[in-house]
Amino acid sequence: MKATVLVVDDEKTFRIVAEEALAAEGLHVLTAPSGRAGLEAWQRESPDLVILDRNLPDMDGLQVLEVLTREGRERGAEPLVVMATAYADVASAVAALKAGAFDYLAKPLQLPELVATVRKALETARLRAQVRALSDKASALVGGFVPGDSAAMRQVLALVDKVAQAVDTTVLIQGESGTGKELIAELIHQRTPRRRDQAFVAFNCASVPDGLVESELFGHERGAFTDARAGKHGRFEEADGGTLFLDEVAELPAGTQAKLLRVLEETTFRRLGGTRDLTVSVRVVAATNKDLAAEVARGTFRLDLYHRLDVFHLRLPPLRERREDIVPLARHFLGIMGARMGKGGLRFTDGAEAILKGYDYPGNVRELRNIVERAVILAGAETIDRDSIVVSPGAMAGAGPGGTARTVGPAAGGAPGSGAFFAIDAAPGGTPPSLDELERAYIARLLEFTGGNRTQVARILGVSYPTVAKKIADYGL
């Protein structure tokens, strides 16, 4: 995938010369004639590198640099900026570097020097991205998925090793929410020759409105629609040479399903508004918590796309089907959470472990992690006893209909994890509430508790913001 460089300079000649020189290096080049235009382009396109003039007609280049640095930190990724100016002096260079510039070049620029500096800066950006990816992977392993040593998971990992050797084979991962589908997809990527050193790009098909899915996957050309002021790479281009993970693939709109099928069969596609075919080499790993065959029968998913995705099928077993993993996983999370909260010596009592082993975990490993985190918060100095394990009695193994209120999660007036956050009553002899009813009530109570702060709700649940937003919409909250 081409790296993107933004050139912000009021001199038209310099913009043209720089664009030609960098385009010849295989880079995608954007230009802006002023500080404000440069900031708008950066916010819209998120380029890999900015070449910024110090002397701009509307703003001082250092002011632009300060805004880029501040907003970049808020996004979690500081921009890479090379400052260029005709006023080359030590004070300006020092000021630019202190403000966060990667390097400083003096005009008139020698093109070989410009190209060399850009290459060095982009290599730095690549290394930064690798560090962030490793950090994100570590966080995901802590937060979402640890394999365990059950026979069921050993079988899954053996299949992962086999399909990893088939570098182009499409994989469909099926499993309930919280079983670790994305982590398995990334494991396939890491163990695949010729792809492990390339990009792993994840896209949640339910995370954007239907009208934007096609642009996100395939990109668009400038002018393709009202707000398309510049061309944009899609996820397929970003993943070229590597792996594209399509989560919640059952949520793809019908029109996008047809275009995805074409890419899988012909390895070519067109950006929105494009007039030429682009070719990519991408392994697609798709995931769903739905039964795609049933979706095909209902007419919501294409049969031909289903067969094209389901070349190699991986089913991730829910935690209740591999109970021998529950206590080891809980102890693993306890070690991490305890250390993080300054309670490194904590251990589970036998009674606490008995409750953990007897629970069905409708939220799977993610829910187990949340239960352990709440238990660490509630625990005393040395042990976590059964009173600190907050679970739903309705989801205990072998639990049947009952006539008592069942506390689920953190009672009105309490905090998440307090054991008294909300309760749902089942009348004597009545039908217990469904999992959807429990989830809807829990999210509604969390929204009340957080004052409607969806980000905080997502953090408490241990899921992404788009997932929370979709559930709120689905449940009509």
Which one has a higher pLDDT value, 49 or 220? 49
Which one has a higher pLDDT value, 470 or 75? 470
Residue ranges per domain, the chain?
4-135, 155-317, 319-391, 396-477
> Of 161-170, 180-189, 225-234, which gets the smallest average pLDDT?
225-234
User: Region 422-429: what's the mean pLDDT?
Assistant: 50
User: Region 51-71: what's the mean pLDDT?
Assistant: 89
Q: What is the 3-state secondary structure (H, E, C) of 38-68?
A: HHHHHHHHCCCEEEEECECCCCEHHHHHHHH
CA angle 33, 37, 38 (to 5 degrees): 85
Q: Predicted confidence band at 6 (pLDDT cuts at 50, 70, 90)? A: very high
Q: Are strands 423-424 and 406-407 parallel, antiparallel or unpaired?
A: antiparallel
Report the CATH number of the 155-317 domain.
3.40.50.300
What are the tens digits of pLDDT across the range 210-219?
888 988 999 8
What pLDDT does residue 392 have? Answer: 66
Amino acid at the residue 75: R
What pLDDT does residue 196 have? Answer: 85
Report the CATH number of the 4-135 domain.
3.40.50.2300
Which one has a higher pLDDT value, 404 or 313? 313
Of the ranges 95-109, 131-145, 157-171, 325-339, the best mean pLDDT one: 157-171
Quick one: CATH architecture of 319-391?
A: Orthogonal Bundle (1.10)
C-alpha–C-alpha distance, residues 198 and 362, integer Å: 35
Which one has a higher pLDDT value, 432 or 447? 447
Of the ranges 87-101, 231-245, 434-448, the best mean pLDDT one: 231-245
What are the tens digits of pLDDT across the range 64-119?
998 888 887 766 667 889 988 766 566 777 777 777 788 888 877 788 888 999 98
Asked if the model's pLDDT at residue 153 lies above 80, the reply is yes
Which one has a higher pLDDT value, 344 or 242? 242
What pLDDT does residue 432 have? Answer: 64
> Of 193-207, 216-230, 370-384, which gets the smallest average pLDDT?
216-230
Note whether 4-135 and 155-317 share their fold.
yes
What pLDDT does residue 423 have? Answer: 52
Q: In which residue are the tokens 């205990």 written?
A: 396
| Count of CB atoms situated within 10 Å of the CB of 235 | 18
Closest CA to 363 of 408, 403, 405: 408
Asked if the model's pLDDT at residue 422 lies above 80, the reply is no
User: Region 112-135: what's the mean pLDDT?
Assistant: 75
> Of 45-54, 193-202, 220-229, 419-428, which gets the smallest average pLDDT?
419-428
User: Region 311-328: what's the mean pLDDT?
Assistant: 93
Mean predicted lDDT score pLDDT of the chain: 82
Share of residues in the chain with pLDDT > 70 (%): 82
Asked if the model's pLDDT at residue 62 lies above 80, the reply is yes
C-alpha–C-alpha distance, residues 330 and 327, integer Å: 5
Q: Predicted confidence band at 307 (pLDDT cuts at 50, 70, 90)? A: very high
Superfamily of the domain at 396-477: Homeodomain-like (1.10.10.60)
